[in-house]
Amino acid sequence: KNQVEQSPQSLIILEGKNCTLQCNYTVSPFSNLRWYKQDTGRGPVSLTIMTFSENTKSNGRYTATLDADTKQSSLHITASQLSDSASYICVVSGGSSASKIIFGSGTRLSIRP
Amino acid sequence: GAVVSQHPSRVICKSGTSVKIECRSLDFQATTMFWYRQFPKKSLMLMATSNEGSKATYEQGVEKDKFLINHASLTLSTLTVTSAHPEDSSFYICSAIPAEPGNFFLYEQYFGPGTRLTVT
């Protein structure tokens, strides 16, 4: 069964600290993995997209990693800001019919001043 | 960048009435659009895939007669919630992909800002 699992479910850190969010998937065959940021009451916004051959991709203070062998991805946020408070969603595309887009349940990140 | 809009952003309707939500791709053509619903503190749940000029493909468990989808043009898809009930209250989000059908998962999804539906 194609699944995407994220951890932790929620996370609270102090402003200025770093954090890492995890995403494990069982989607096969794999096409790509995306990380989205969703502010409360808004639609998701893309942060990074990674294909099978990519190990690391950065977007400002966001750095995503992908290990296609272990089917794990992480999103590292450096020097967190209050505006980073949001849900972060891992989305994996692929599947047996090569046409599935599977969403993780998200990690709710709260940055405290 | 590609922009997707939704209208209205918030709507309150009475039980038994119908409400229409519009999803527009503002600066690109979208042959494929997706409709999601999201409950509080939960992730997006795909409801249906909307293809321009053809019938929508609904996910298992989604009533196609209750959630009517019309993708009449390359920039507009509408979701009509018919005979709304309080349990239909949710956050509805659309996304659009500037790609041909069949390979949509290779392309970026651009999400709309969402529509908050409250049924009283």
- Give per-residue pLDDT as tens, A62-105: 999 999 999 999 999 999 999 999 999 999 988 665 567 889 99
Nearest alpha-carbon partner for B24 in B8, B46, B48, B36: B8
Q: How do beta strands A62-67 and A10-14 pair?
A: unpaired
Contacts with A45 from chain B: Cβ below 8 Å: 111
| Contact across the interface for A41 and B46, Cβ inside 8 Å | no
Query: For residues A24 and A15, what is the distance between their CA atoms, to the nearest angstrom?
Result: 26
DSSP state of B91: E
What does the H/E/C string look like for B1-12? CCCEEEECCEEE
| Contact across the interface for A32 and B106, Cβ inside 8 Å | yes
Position A73 scores a pLDDT of 97
Query: For A26-58, what is each residue's pLDDT tens digit?
Result: 988 888 999 999 999 899 999 999 988 899 999
Taking CA atoms, B2 is separated from A80, B49, B98, B100, in Å, by 27, 19, 9, 16
- Asked if A84 and A24 touch (Cβ cutoff 8 Å), the reply is no
B95 near A CB under 8 A: yes
Give A101 or B61, the one with higher predicted confidence: B61
Q: CA-nearest residue of chain B to A37?
A: B111
- Asked if B70 and B83 touch (Cβ cutoff 8 Å), the reply is no
Burial of B65 (0-12, 13-18, 19+ CB in 10 A): exposed
pLDDT beyond 70 at B31: yes
Cβ within 8 Å of residue A52, ≥6 positions away: A30, A31, A32, A68
Residue B42 is nearest to which of A42, A93, A105, comparing CB atoms? A105
Give A78 or B29, the one with higher predicted confidence: A78
